[in-house]
Structure 1
Amino acid sequence: MPQPNDHRLFAVILGTNEIASAIALQLVRAGYCVVLSHDPDPPVIRRKMAFHDALFTDTAQLEDIVAERVDDGVQVYQALRRPPQVMVTWLGLLDLLPVRHIDLLIDARLQKRRVTPDLRRLARLTIGLGPGFSSDFNCDVAVETRPGKIGFVTDARWTDAADGVASSLGDVGAERFVYSQFAGRWHTPIEIGTRVYRDLVLGHLSGVPLLAPRDGILRGIVRDGSEVPAGVKLLEVDPRGRDAQWTGTDQRGRAIANAATAAVRLHAARRSTHRNPA
């Protein structure tokens, strides 16, 4: 017999990127019904490491979990009567709040320079990932995502501000990315996982050709036909040869997901202790 809607653990994750998806994997395995809410800024590039493409293809698989697209609150509410699953939606947080009280809200959008509102009254537990979060100001738990501090849970202070330094992959930093120099519509015929070579045309931004920055495997690229703002990553080339990865979850994603789910378990343990003191 399915659990009543009021008993199913309900998690909303803001973002459909690879970090949000790695967290969703762990939460659904822990019994949560998870909704990933799309935000266009920044665009998702590592799409084979995320559930993002379910927005366009109805379903997307990551490891052993298949996510489904939902288009309205009724579909989300009905899903709460079924076994735990991952859903991906164009619906925003304001559209999801009326469905049912949210047990867990995680902001995984990694919006490095945008002001984040106070999330704390919107769910039983709120977690903020990356720059712009403080457990004293806008979330219950703030988790670092920058290199050297990945997964570190801050204690009553702001997470580190973005410093503009890209993490390394095979000793290669920002030079493995191509960024948008202006806002426009992006078009590309190239699929993730393709071997590419330096100066190969990988796509066009409003008609302007953009070239591969180096030899390697295309690890990520913005979906064809997307509108993109200026100053965001359009694509990434993995320089590691046989060690290149463009599918599944990576070490960074798992580390951040582990920190987030550890915070959830700690919060649950504290609530249990509070309800049942020795």
Structure 2
Amino acid sequence: MLILVKGAGDLATGTALQLYRAGFSVVMTDIAQPTAVRRTVAFSQCMYDGAVTVEGVTARKAADKAQAEAILAAGEIPVLADPEAHIRNELPFTVVVDAILAKRNLGTAMDDAPIVLALGPGFTAGVDCHGVIETKRGHDLGRLILEGSAIPNTGVPGDVGGYTKERIIRAPADGPFEPVAQIGQQVQLGDVVAKVNGIPVTAQLTGIVRGMLPAGIPVTTGMKSGDIDPRCEVRHCFTVSDKARAIGGGVLEGILYFGRRLRLWND
């Protein structure tokens, strides 16, 4: 079974890892210049580095169908700069997972594949996909929704270690991003962690820098550019998050649930 995961950020990567380890072949797509802040655990980093290994699984940048097939044959995950997911029409995908997390549907339809799943708000199960996976932290995180939609976006980051919006590093202006702190570095409340056009961004709490955009990425005022984790566990910076694992489990449940109903394999 071949699965297309649209998006290759940290939550999409956590999903892809679970599917890969469950024995499925996975292809991923993203934009040419991704802006995932948790880039140490995001296969989208392939767009910059060519190849990325997360928790022992390697993803590699592919230019086209032929390269994607070669990477699959090598036992790795191909990632294409293909924001419109044209590769969907070139390979026989049984499952499409919209993991772009744009908070709205950017073009996914229920007839894109025999099984179509979507992460988070912006989708309705039974209308534009077969199932929706809840992405909001809380009791229902990772739940497979068979009717209706995920909880609407509140604009407030989830609570981690007692902090919400304070965790997020946001650009203070338009311009090229300049990180000062590095992923895995401990910072104190008030430390300068980044700059944009010489304007400093300071940490709003004490913790470990868990995510940070690479240098030179163009940002806009208020854009999410980094993440500070108050739990101060360095390994959290280099391993898939609890949230990503929960969401990946929901996707796997959805594939098995709908696959059995469609008789894609024997009971």
Whether TM exceeds 0.5 here: the answer is: yes
1:15 aligned partner: 7
**Distance in 2 of aligned mates of 1:95 and 1:196:** 42
Aligned to 1:261: 252
1:172 aligned onto 2:163: yes
Matched residues, percent identical? 25
Q: Which amino acid aligns with 1:73?
A: K
Any idea what the Cα deviations from partners look like across 1:37-67, whole Å, max 9, x if unmatched?
1147982111122222222111111112111
Instruction: Give the equivalent residue in structure 1 for 2:135.
Output: 145
Residue number in structure 1 paired with 2:65: 73
What RMSD, in angstroms, separates the aligned Cα atoms of the two structures? 2.4
> Which residue, out of 73, 76, 90, partners 1:99?
90
Q: 1:242 to 1:98 in 2, by over 3 A?
A: closer
Count of residues in Structure 1 that have an aligned counterpart in Structure 2: 266
Aligned residue among 27, 30, 34 for 1:38: 30
Report if aligned partners of 1:43, 1:232 keep a CA contact under 8 Å in 2.
Answer: no
5+ residue gaps, structure 2: none
Unaligned 5+ segments in structure 1 are 1-8
Residue 200 of structure 2 corresponds to which residue in structure 1? 209
Partners of 2:261 and 2:157 lie apart in 1 by: 36
Contact preservation (8 Å) 2:34, 2:47? no
Q: Secondary structure at the match of 1:254?
A: helix
4+ residue runs over 6 A deviation: none
Distance 1:168 1:262 in 2: 25
Aligned equivalent of 2:113: 123
Report the more deviating stretch, 38-47 or 97-106: 38-47
Letter in 1 for 2:78: M
In structure 1, distance between residues paired with 2:109 and 2:173: 31
In structure 1, the partner of 2:125 is 135
Question: Aligned equivalents of 1:40 and 1:211: distance in 2?
Answer: 29
Q: Give TM-score, length-normalised by structure 1.
A: 0.86
Q: Are 1:51 and 2:43 matched, yes or no?
A: yes
Q: Is the 8 A contact 1:104 1:125 kept in 2?
A: yes
Q: Shift of the alpha carbon at 1:124?
A: 2.0
Give the whole-Å Cα distance in 1 for the aligned partners of 2:112 and 2:93: 7
CA change 1:98–1:213 in 2 (3 A) is same
Q: Give distance in 2, aligned partners of 1:212 and 1:103.
A: 44
CA shift for structure 1 position 33:
2.4
Q: Structure 1 276/56 Cα, relative in aligned 2: closer, same or farther at 3 Å?
A: closer
My pick for the range that moved more, 35-44 or 218-227, is 35-44
Q: Does 1:271 align with 2:266?
A: no
Which SS does the other structure have where 1:191 is aligned? Answer: coil
Residue 43 of structure 1 contacts residue 228 of structure 1 at CA under 8 Å; is this kept in 2? no
